[in-house]
Structure 1
Amino acid sequence: MSQTIQQKAQADLAMVEEVTAVALKEPTEASEVISLEAADAPVSAEIRKRMGELDMGDTNSIVAFGSAAQAELQTISQAMLADVRNKDVGPAGDSLRDIVTTIRGFSISELDTRRKQSFWERLMGRAAPFAKFTARFETVQGQIDQITDNLLKHEHTLLKDIKSLDMLYDKTLDFYDELALYIAAGEAKIAELDSTDIPAKEAEVNAAPENDQVMKAQELRDLRAARDDLERRVHDLKLTRQVTMQSLPSIRLVQENDKSLVTKINSTLVNTVPLWETQLAQALTIQRSAEAAAAVREANDLTNELLTANAANLRENNKMIRTEMERGVFDIEAVKQANADLIATINESLQIADEGKAKRAAAEADLQKMEGDLRDTLAAAKARKDGLGDTTSTAVPEA
């Protein structure tokens, strides 16, 4: 809220206290309808004065009886209505709701940057919560200034209305008392007509010559009709007085509401709005602190992750390197395996050589046997030649 508006609100505080301290009068026993016979001298004089306004021969005087009492009241009411028609003013309560809505627009949940955006926010492509919060705060100061200025205008209007309602209440109460005098005057006049004027006119009709009786009888009927019109007018005044009596607490209720609203508006301008602005500034600072703390926390978390990851990697790599460093050029198991394979290879070679030698020896014996068998066969064949005449070409020389 700007300094100018706050100074105006402070200046209006005395005026607010002044109008709210005004006590309205209450209807008294003097406001009751008192008959002419029971009234004291001053009231009796006032009643007779109003009776003098009646002319039973003039219908207009009966119709207008008591209307003069409402003239000043009507003037005030018309002035208030004209003032309302010439203004373009919304309810002051709307401004209060506007400022509350403006403040409540900063939802605490929206300050949580870790919350998920709603479907509607994602659909509309709204900004991140903190960016939205910051953007709102950048414009809310101007909004508050505009709203508080409107509240100040409503306050001035309500102060004017309260003073007008004071006058309206006083004039309505005067009208209420004035109606009592007119009702008493009307009833007194009706009683006078019933007891004096109408009987006297009836006597005139009876005493009049026959050719004048028709005229006198018409006058009697006119007097009685005027008497009935007056009775109806008095009844209307009684109804008007009852409605006027009901309007008194209505005016007071409206005025009390206006006074309460003026007090609330002034308290909002002087006390509440500066407090809201302070709280908004704190909310922004707290949010920024939370953002900074979150950034520091993330940096610390990253550092810790790097430390633990590097330590784990160092341990694993060191284990692998030291293991390789402590190994020989050849693993003993590999040497053992190679030696065993070599021995097995030599043994297999010797075994195969022995087997080959044995096979060759066996083959040699077989060859000698086959050779012997062949000689024997050839020798037998030669002998048969000598005895049977075989050719010598098949003979085998002796060894």
Structure 2
Amino acid sequence: MSDQVKTKAQDAVALVDEVNSVVLPDPSPAEDVVSLETASPEMSEEIRARMDEIDMGDTQSIVSFGSAAQAELQEISQAMLADVRNKDVGPAGDSLRDIVTTIRGFSVSELDVRRKQSWWEKLVGRSAPFAKFTARYEQVQAQIDRVTDTLLKHEHALLKDIKSLDLLYDKTLQFYDELALYIAAGQQKLAELDNVTIPAKEAEVQAASPDAQVMTAQQLRDLRAARDDLERRVHDLKLTRQVTMQSLPSIRLVQENDKSLVTKINSTLVNTVPLWETQLAQAVTIQRSAEAAAAVRDANDLTNELLTANAKNLRDSNTAIRTEMERGVFDIEAVKQANADLIATIQDSLRIADEGKARRAKAEEELKRMEGDLRDTLSSAKARGTGTGDTTATSVPAGA
């Protein structure tokens, strides 16, 4: 870590301690909406002022009832989301992971010069482990300085956010209370419509003449429709107030996370990074010693391998030469095999000759038999030809 970065990190320690010493207040917002009857005089005036914003004859007045508070709330919510996206744990966490990844690159297995390279290392043509180690070490210091400088920027941004979130919390709490006033005003207006205005309009319809009764009834329907619109609007304000109440602990949670992350970043800059740099310097020295020891070991191993290999080769070649010298011109086993094959050949010849003689004798007997059969057949055919008619095939049937 450079002296400039180290100075910045040490200067930030006071700010981190100041932030961590502040206990974040967590006031519980009121859950129930105070009615006009139970409200204090000051709050009653606020509720009546918001009731005056409602004009039952103006639909836009009902639709936009409480919209000012909702617009402010939406603005705050968008600011919160933008704050989370812009500041936030992601880049700072990435910077921390960058440091860890850089340091983890110097793994023990990678420093082993005799280890077998993986298929990926062979595919990308990775250099020898120690050459790669040295090349990477030449850039580590610059990488650490760059990453620590980035972490410092995130640390200052987080410190600002922690303070700004206090203002955001207070403003959100104000609008939470403002929504309660609008809800109380809407509920009071609904009660007034149900108990006074609408019954009075119903009586007016009943008392109207037949000609005016249709128009008065239409006014009553419009008043009831406007009343339903107001009821739905009050329900939406209640939902909005619930969402607002949920956002209050969310703001505190973001603050607590930011404080934890600021502490972690500062600890990394002040304590961890210098320790890593010391360990890296030791790793280089240890690696060079290991390389020298490995070279001596390889030389000794090669000498021992040569002695062992030469002795074995001498023994193998001597055995082969002496064996060939003691052999005869012909091996007795070869002579025995040749004599056995010759006897078997003569026996096969005699056997085949006997089998041929027997087949010829049998063939002569078969020829004699065939000749006799042919002679008998011819004699029988001649006798039939000198009889009452011709051969069987050419005789004329009786009575023809």
The within-5 A match list for 1:126-275 is: 126-275=126-275
Cα offset for 1:89? 10
Cα offset for 1:203? 2.6
Whether the aligned pair in 1 keeps the contact of 2:95 and 2:147 (CA below 8 Å) is yes
Cα offset for 1:298? 8.0
- Where do 5+ consecutive residues of structure 1 fail to align? 310-399
Whether the aligned pair in 2 keeps the contact of 1:25 and 1:170 (CA below 8 Å) is no
Aligned to 2:67: 67
Deviates more, 1:53-62 or 1:77-86: 77-86
1:5-58 residue CA offsets vs partner (Å, 9 max, x unmatched): 2222222333333444351433233x5212222223232222222212212122
Cα offset for 1:172? 2.1
Aligned to 2:107: 107
Whether the aligned pair in 2 keeps the contact of 1:27 and 1:173 (CA below 8 Å) is no
Cα offset for 1:228? 0.9
Distance in 1 (CA, whole Å) between partners of 2:203 and 2:155 is 69
Whether the aligned pair in 2 keeps the contact of 1:47 and 1:182 (CA below 8 Å) is yes
In structure 2, relative to structure 1, the CA distance for the partners of 1:123 and 1:201 (3 Å cut) is closer
Aligned to 1:358: none
Distance in 1 (CA, whole Å) between partners of 2:87 and 2:159 is 15
Matched length: 303
TM value normalised by structure 1: 0.67
Distance in 2 (CA, whole Å) between partners of 1:93 and 1:171 is 29
TM value normalised by structure 2: 0.67
Distance in 2 (CA, whole Å) between partners of 1:113 and 1:135 is 15
The within-5 A match list for 1:339-358 is: none
Whether the aligned pair in 1 keeps the contact of 2:87 and 2:158 (CA below 8 Å) is no
- Where do 5+ consecutive residues of structure 2 fail to align? 308-400
Deviates more, 1:111-120 or 1:142-151: 111-120
Identity of counterpart residues, as a percentage? 77
Aligned to 1:394: none
Whether the aligned pair in 2 keeps the contact of 1:77 and 1:168 (CA below 8 Å) is no
SS of the equivalent of 1:257 reads helix
Whether the aligned pair in 2 keeps the contact of 1:72 and 1:171 (CA below 8 Å) is no
1:131-159 residue CA offsets vs partner (Å, 9 max, x unmatched): 22221111111111111122222223333
1:274-294 residue CA offsets vs partner (Å, 9 max, x unmatched): 111111112222223444555
SS of the equivalent of 1:39 reads coil
Distance in 1 (CA, whole Å) between partners of 2:81 and 2:166 is 15
In structure 2, relative to structure 1, the CA distance for the partners of 1:17 and 1:213 (3 Å cut) is farther
Cα offset for 1:94? 1.3
SS of the equivalent of 1:23 reads coil
In structure 2, relative to structure 1, the CA distance for the partners of 1:14 and 1:58 (3 Å cut) is farther
Distance in 2 (CA, whole Å) between partners of 1:272 and 1:182 is 54
| Paired amino acid for 1:148 | T
Distance in 1 (CA, whole Å) between partners of 2:255 and 2:273 is 25
